[in-house]
Amino acid sequence: MTETPRPLLITTDPLLLDEVLRLAAAAGTEMSVRDEPTASAWSAAPLVLVGDDALAAATDRALPRRDAIVVVRRSDGHGSDATPSEVWRAAVAVGAEHVAELPDASRWIVDRLAQSSDGTAEGGPVISCVSAAGGAGSSTLAALLARESSGLLIDVDPFGAAIPVDGGVRWPDLTETRGRIPPTSLRNALPSVHGVRVLTGTSNERFTIPVHALSSVIEAGARGFTCTVIDTPRADAEASRTAWSRSDVVVVVLGPHPSTVMRAPALIDAVREVCTHVAIVARTSPRDPGTWCLAESVEWGLPALPAFRHDRALAQGEHAYFTARSTARRNARDILGAVYAGIRR
């Protein structure tokens, strides 16, 4: 098996080594360390940190040009004897993008290391789902979209029915979470339901959605998951507005009867205050093909995505057991395709 390349640190300074390894631990990543650079390690690493004590060796080796090189030095006066101007000249010669002085740049280094560990991840779109009226089916649609994309499902309704999961991190565990979350760490911490990583609450106790943690989770999902789907309540609350504002598109779900559109304009206005990309989806029934939805979407100036059919099993929360050839899952794939196409445009 091929090991994933790690960020590379080149230094002979034990104090600088200890400081960078401490920052790497805070970033949730492991480092490769060398006294002198080699061409293979230099080229393979997603990020190279060069201590100012090793700049001369890196320059003398005439290593291949590459991106993602950062020079690190200690600002306590006990690092190399080079002056700041000499360090900058050597950094330019080696092709560095930045010179970071520790401890002042510690937070920046942590973020840069975390970003490098995400380098192989391919982030996808963020989609929020919200019902125009109670029972329209946004939670069902969110679960279907997350399953078809094998992505991340975020449940932001503190009073809704919690998604049944076994173990793993839930909202009450993230109360103190702030800042950047590596997608790999998030993926490993969350429970998996039918191939979907799920962040939800608990059904037996009251909890709140920590908005700072929600922002961090959405950012991690956008960086490291094929698709991030957020099930938001209709309440014009801070958590809902945070989710909408960070979404590539907000999907407003209309129920299987024209009467469900009565409250939709007010909701759409609230969404449009923080997100300009809004689309309509109709949950239809066998006796109602949802043609009225197209007329309403034209009146509101919003695109209408493919509809999805009402099903008794869907209403009972049994969508997870549908086969890949079921109508519900085919509808979800059609909606995802339309969303992706709209985002690319």
What is the phi/psi pair of residue 185, to 5°?
-65, -40
- Average pLDDT of the chain is 83
Looking only at the bridges linking them, the beta strands covering 308-309 and 278-284 are parallel
Question: What is the predicted pLDDT for the residue at 190?
Answer: 92
In this structure, how many other beta carbons lie within 10 angstroms of the beta carbon of residue 134? 11
Question: What is the predicted pLDDT for the residue at 21?
Answer: 95
Contact 247, 230 (CB under 8 A): yes
Give the whole-angstrom CA distance, residue 293 versus residue 278: 14
Question: What is the predicted pLDDT for the residue at 287?
Answer: 65
* Tens of each residue's pLDDT in the chain, 345 residues: 345 688 999 999 999 999 999 999 888 889 999 998 888 889 889 999 999 999 988 888 878 888 889 999 998 655 556 677 888 888 988 989 899 999 999 988 988 888 786 654 567 899 999 998 777 788 889 988 998 998 999 999 876 655 677 778 888 888 888 777 878 788 888 998 888 999 988 777 667 788 999 998 998 898 889 999 999 988 878 999 999 999 999 999 987 666 677 778 889 999 999 998 999 998 876 666 566 666 677 788 898 888 887 665 555 555 444 566 677 788 889 999 998 887 765
Give the whole-angstrom CA distance, residue 27 versus residue 282: 43
In the chain, which residue ranges form alpha helices assigned H by DSSP? 14-27, 39-44, 55-60, 84-94, 106-117, 138-149, 183-189, 211-224, 238-245, 264-272, 291-300, 312-315, 327-344
Which residues, at least 6 apart from 27, have a Cβ–Cβ distance to it below 8 Å? 109, 110, 111, 113, 114, 117, 182
Q: Which domains does the chain show, CATH number per domain?
A: 8-117 (3.40.50.2300), 126-344 (3.40.50.300)
pTM for this entry:
0.68
Give the whole-angstrom CA distance, residue 141 versus residue 305: 12
pLDDT digits (tens, 9 = 90+) for 33-67: 999 888 888 988 999 999 999 998 888 887 888 88
3-class secondary-structure state, position 29: coil
Contact 178, 208 (CB under 8 A): no
Give the whole-angstrom CA distance, residue 289 versus residue 157: 29
Question: What is the predicted pLDDT for the residue at 235?
Answer: 80
pLDDT digits (tens, 9 = 90+) for 210-238: 899 999 899 889 888 999 999 998 887 89
